[in-house]
Amino acid sequence: MPRTYLKVPFPQKDAAKSLGARWDAAMSSWYIPEGVDTSAFSAWLSGTLLPTMPTVKSSSVVAAAVSAGSALAVAKTGVPLSRLLAGVATAVAAAYRTGVWTTVEVTEVRVRGGHVYLDLSERDKNGVLVAKTTGTIWADTANRILPEFERATGANLAPGIKLLVRAKPVFKPQYGLSVDIDAIDPDYTLGDLEARKREIRSRLQAEGVFGAQKLLEAPWDYNAVLVVAPDGAAGLGDFRAESERLAAFGVCEFVYASSRFQGEGAAAEIVASLLAALERWTEGHEANPDAIVIIRGGGAVNDLAWLNDYALARLICDLPVPVFTGIGHERDSTILDEVAHTKFDTPSKVIAGIEQLIVRRTREAGDAYEFVNQQAELAAEKAKASVRQFDAEVRADAARQVEFAKRKSTELFAAVKEVSVTTIHRARVLANDGVAAVRVDAVKTIAEARVESTASKDFVIERAGSHVLRVRAAVGASFDVVSEGARRVVQVARSTSEALMREVAGQGPEKTLGRGFVMVRDAGGKPMTRVAHVAPGQSVSVQFSDGAVGAKVDEVKK
């Protein structure tokens, strides 16, 4: 549809813009958009209607067409297609003498001979394709603008990236219409990538789940970890180098699930792979894994941008297990890093964090063993001291009881003797007819006193003996309980120590040699650990995991 252009002096441009006028850079003129009332622009109306697509004056077009080989006036026999398209090419070249800034999405990238060939498209908000063409960045231009773009954005040209480019339409009769690109605005690409993250972030915050992972308690220790990573990734190799060592010693179990991490549909594939791995996990385990780890090696910003996906981020927010991310390098950040429980810079740092916690818990277990051992020894010493104290108390109590019985017997005997003397004295005073009765009474009294004295002594001795037996039984039971507890504690500590010693033994020089390291010895077989110990011409032995070779030092570099 033709446009209505305006004659707007420069000082009045803001007024025209505020009324709804739009700027046409190709025509260097303001125009009235479709559907806007023209009456408000009466002061600037030129009365000129021009086609929407910028064109040159008709006289210029005709002259260009004639110079291409023929006027565009067709004879009955027609004109060759090449002449027609040459006229189109001339018209396009005349209309677009310079490039126009335009937004595009890259769907394919090809590099040949240093030239970069792009398939470009535009889609509406529903994803429907509305325009497409091809673009070219010639080698000289590519060498100038692409390194600057990559430094500014951390991204490279790849399918899926959106760009703001300065493009000049070019029509060639043999190849059709394309655009030559001579500039790329990095701010637009960065803004598009950040806008995608901002949209997902705002949606998760509105749903109240953005910080859900941060509320989960961090694992106290690691017994089982689920790892999601792309197959063959360099970061996965670094991770497994350490995780397999931990698994070999039975310290922690690692279960792996693979998925693509970039390209169309990568986020959906990660979601499916993670859900399937969790379902398999529940079939073979009673509890959830201690943590879920999502890792991949470094890459361009737009390679990592495939992970900025709402469905994937929402799944992580909803998981009841802490999620750790180790995606890319220190400078990289995705929406997954923001919603995860803990973000690590690289996959290596993820496994290092897990290993450090395991080592800390191991040391704590060793310290606990030492503490328990010390407490067991103290408890045994206290038990022995208690036994000795109980024995001393029992002996002292028994001695007091015996002493009391002796004193009581002496007192009773003295009383009996006193009564006997009194009775005998009274009997002598009495008449002779009462002597026999007095004697009988005295003998009876003496007998009763003796019986009472013997009974009291036997009771005291029996009571002391019973108390001694009860105390000895109680002491023996207490000593058995303390001894049994101490034996159990020592046995548990011994088992823990043996496990730790087995792990330490697994870190010997043979394992180090098996990982690709070598050991250098001098002629006497002594290990050489510093270059200062080596002299030119010196004979040395180089120890590998499967043998040793002799060598002679030619040069020493410090």
Question: Three-state SS string across 48-63, please?
Answer: EEECCCCCCCHHHHHH
Percent of the chain at pLDDT exceeding 90 = 27
Task: Name the pLDDT band for 314 (thresholds 50, 70, 90).
Answer: very high
Tell me the whole-structure pTM to 2 decimals: 0.47
Number of other CB atoms surrounding residue 502 within 10 Å? 11
Q: What is the mean pLDDT of residues 70-83?
A: 62
Nearest to 192 by CA among 219, 153, 221: 153
Residue 378 has pLDDT above 80, yes or no: yes
Provide the terminal-to-terminal Cα distance of the chain, rounded to the nearest Å.
Answer: 78
Number of other CB atoms surrounding residue 543 within 10 Å? 17
Pair type for strands 519-521 and 162-172: unpaired
* Least confident segment among 44-53, 126-135, 321-330: 44-53
Residue 425 has pLDDT above 90, yes or no: no
Nearest to 186 by CA among 98, 109, 301: 301
Q: Quick one: pLDDT at residue 38?
A: 78
Task: Name the pLDDT band for 433 (thresholds 50, 70, 90).
Answer: low
**What six digits make up the tokens of 501?**
């010693």
What is 362-505's CATH number? 1.10.287
Residue 59 has pLDDT above 60, yes or no: no
Give yes or no for a contact between 500 and 370, defined as CB atoms under 8 angstroms apart: no
Beta bridge partners of 120: 106, 133
* Least confident segment among 59-63, 340-344, 357-361: 59-63
pLDDT mean across residues, the chain: 81
**Same fold for the pair 197-345 and 362-505:** no
Position with higher pLDDT, 120 vs 53: 120
Quickly list H helices, 331-346: 335-339
Number of other CB atoms surrounding residue 213 within 10 Å? 21
Q: Quick one: pLDDT at residue 481?
A: 66
Q: SS3 for 326?
A: strand
Percent of the chain at pLDDT exceeding 70 = 82
- Give 236-253 pLDDT, tens digit per residue: 888 998 899 999 988 899
Residue 56 has pLDDT above 60, yes or no: no
Q: In this structure, what are the phi and psi dihedrals at residue 19, rounded to the nearest 5 degrees?
A: -85, -5
Task: Name the pLDDT band for 65 (thresholds 50, 70, 90).
Answer: very low
Phi-psi region of 107 (alpha: psi -120 to 50; beta: other; left: phi over 0): alpha
Sign of the torsion formed by the C-alpha atoms of 386, 387, 390 and 392 = negative
Q: SS3 for 263?
A: coil
Residue 374 has pLDDT above 90, yes or no: no
Topology of the domain covering 197-345: Rossmann fold (3.40.50)
Q: Quick one: pLDDT at residue 182?
A: 92
Q: Quick one: pLDDT at residue 16?
A: 79
Q: Quick one: pLDDT at residue 504?
A: 52
Give yes or no for a contact between 319 and 209, defined as CB atoms under 8 angstroms apart: no
Distance (Å, whole) CA 264 – CA 161:
11
What is 97-184's CATH number? 2.40.50.140
Distance (Å, whole) CA 457 – CA 404:
9
How many residues does this entry show for the chain? 558
Residue 72 has pLDDT above 60, yes or no: no
**What six digits make up the tokens of 442?**
């005295």
**What six digits make up the tokens of 377?**
């020894």
H/E element, 171? strand 162-172
Distance (Å, whole) CA 558 – CA 547:
27
User: How is the chain split into domains, by residue range?
Assistant: 97-184, 197-345, 362-505, 512-552
Q: What is the mean pLDDT of residues 508-523?
A: 79
- At CB < 8 A and 24+ separation, what contacts does 78-81 make? 81/173
The one-letter code for the residue type at 141 is: T
